[in-house]
Amino acid sequence: MSGTGLRLEIRQGRLGLRGPLPCARGSSARPVQRISLGLPATAAGVAAALEQLAAVRDGLDRGTFRWELWRRRSPGTTAAPPAPPLDGGPWIAPVLAGFEAAFFAEPRRRRRPAGSRSTWSGAYRPYLRRLAALAGAAQGSVDAPLLERVLESYPLASRSRQQCGIALAALARHLGMTLPEDWSERSGGYGLHAARFRGLPTDARILELVEAIPNPRWRLAYGLMATYGLRNHEVFFCDVSALAPGGDRVLRVLPTSKTGEHQVWPFQPDWVERFELDRLGHGATGLPEVTTDLRRTTLQQVGRRVAEQFRRYDLPITPYDLRHAWAVRTIHIGLPDTVAARMMGHSVAIHTRTYHHWITRRDQQQAVDTALARLRAS
């Protein structure tokens, strides 16, 4: 696919992916590796494989790619027991039937009927079965709490949870339903896995790596993410006028961003000068020229452009590493978790689970310091 080194390949009649992928041992290298998808080399298999390729690329862009999600089940592993029938009760059956009809009525689905059937049976139907089972036969309605129950029934950070989140989000769009703002993050799983945990850059490393970016516009984008913990796309969807001389340096992430409007303070504050971010104070014209008209692009595409640029410069970190490092920085300086979560545009629950290690260490250290102070005073 465009913008990545990943390619579909056929080996012994089966489809897989091949290209530069994170080292399984946790180093910053990206050697050429393979992911076996186990799909047949048919039109339906290719359609399903392209969706898997998009999921891998999204994980790479967000810094959430984990090998354990893509290692195939060993032959001796016992399969999960079959799910209950899809109908689940007289009130929910028409809802799911309507969604299925709308799914296959989409023009792009009609152009590839075989691939669409494969996608529906493998990537949608299992999770709708779980939905029907949890809904039960009692009269009710398909609402956000029900969809959350279904999502939470899958293990954290599992591939099935990720796919469940995608399927239920599509159902929510079909029904015109608003999901919680942190749905995407909850679908991807909580927390930082071991490789990312070990690989977060120090402040000194962040300041060092900017020197590897020759383009001054991309240096400013990098500096904004490092100083304010912004998501990839938020760099291009925030009001930076407060960076002008005399401004309070508080950025306003715009309502058009992924999780809506919120304000962010700089940590470290002196990085505003260090990265020369005050140059943006009279408008974001100093940033890279990226299409931000959401009638012609999406937030995901804008975010991918940023991730692709990091790879083009051979940076050994991802944009989300800068975001995670910002969050850890706020924990070390003692910023309340509720405030930090609000600045990051996600819930306190997501913040606590994602940064559990550092928060636990901080709280334990505070308890130890209090106990020692009491002991010295006695």
Predicted confidence (pLDDT) per residue in 83-117, tens digit: 334 555 567 888 888 888 888 888 877 777 766 77
Average pLDDT over residues 262-276: 94
Amino acid at position 216, single letter: P
For 118-246, strand residue ranges (E) read 238-239
pLDDT at 73: 39
Written as one string, the DSSP assignment of 108-129 is: HHHH-HHHHHHHIIIIIHHHHH
Determine the Cα–Cα distance for residues 258 and 365; give it in Å rounded to an integer.
35
Lowest mean pLDDT among 78-82, 211-215, 267-271: 78-82
Cβ contacts of 4-7, under 8 Å, gap ≥ 24: 4/57, 4/60, 4/308, 5/32, 6/53, 6/56, 6/57
Q: Please, are residues 174 and 102 in contact by the beta-carbon 8 Å criterion?
A: yes
Half-sphere exposure in the Cβ direction for 61 (13 Å, CA): 24
pLDDT at 6: 83
Which pLDDT tens digit goes with each residue over 301-324?
888 899 899 999 999 998 989 999
Amino acid at position 74, single letter: S
3-state secondary structure of 308: helix
Average pLDDT over residues 319-335: 92
Judged against a pLDDT cut of 70, whether residue 71 lies above it is answered with no
Judged against a pLDDT cut of 50, whether residue 229 lies above it is answered with yes
Average pLDDT over residues 217-235: 95
Q: Which residue has the tokens 């354990």?
A: 68
Average pLDDT over residues 204-209: 95
Written as one string, the DSSP assignment of 19-48 is: EE---TTS-S---EEEEEEEEESSHHHHHH
pLDDT at 183: 82
Output the average pLDDT for the chain: 81
pLDDT at 264: 96
Q: Please, are residues 334 and 325 in contact by the beta-carbon 8 Å criterion?
A: no
pLDDT at 265: 97
3-state secondary structure of 290: coil
pLDDT at 89: 58
Domain 201-362 has CATH 1.10.10.60: no
Judged against a pLDDT cut of 50, whether residue 333 lies above it is answered with yes
pLDDT at 27: 63
How does residue 122 score in pLDDT terms, banded at 50, 70 and 90?
confident
Which pLDDT tens digit goes with each residue over 345-360?
888 877 887 888 888 8
Give the angle subtended at the CA of 68 by the CAs of 63 and 69, to the nearest 5°.
70
Determine the Cα–Cα distance for residues 222 and 211; give it in Å rounded to an integer.
11
3-state secondary structure of 132: helix
Average pLDDT over residues 226-243: 93
Amino acid at position 217, single letter: R
Determine the Cα–Cα distance for residues 187 and 370; give it in Å rounded to an integer.
38
Q: Are strands 251-253 and 238-239 parallel, antiparallel or unpaired?
A: antiparallel
Does 301 sit behind a cis peptide bond, omega within 30 degrees of 0 on the bond before it?
no
Which pLDDT tens digit goes with each residue over 236-245?
999 999 998 8
Q: Which residues contact 309 (CB under 8 A, 6 or more apart)?
A: 218, 221, 288
Percent above pLDDT 90 for the chain: 29
pLDDT at 330: 93
Reference 267, options 328, 204, 200; nearest CA is 328
Domain ranges within the chain, ordered by starting residue: 7-68, 93-188, 201-362
Judged against a pLDDT cut of 80, whether residue 164 lies above it is answered with yes
Strands of the sheet with 262-264, listed across from one edge: 238-239, 251-253, 262-264
Q: Please, are residues 240 and 281 in contact by the beta-carbon 8 Å criterion?
A: yes
The tokens describing 72, both together, are 């195939």
Composition of the chain by helix, strand, coil, percent to 5 = 55, 10, 35
pLDDT at 3: 47
Average pLDDT over residues 298-303: 82
pLDDT at 273: 94
Give the angle subtended at the CA of 108 by the CAs of 102 and 114, to the nearest 5°.
85
pLDDT at 152: 83
Q: Which residues pair with 15 in a beta bridge?
A: 10, 39
Judged against a pLDDT cut of 50, whether residue 78 lies above it is answered with no
pLDDT at 54: 74
How does residue 137 score in pLDDT terms, banded at 50, 70 and 90?
low
Determine the Cα–Cα distance for residues 228 and 11; give it in Å rounded to an integer.
45
Percent above pLDDT 70 for the chain: 81
Written as one string, the DSSP assignment of 144-168 is: HHHHHHHHHTSPTT-HHHHHHHHHH
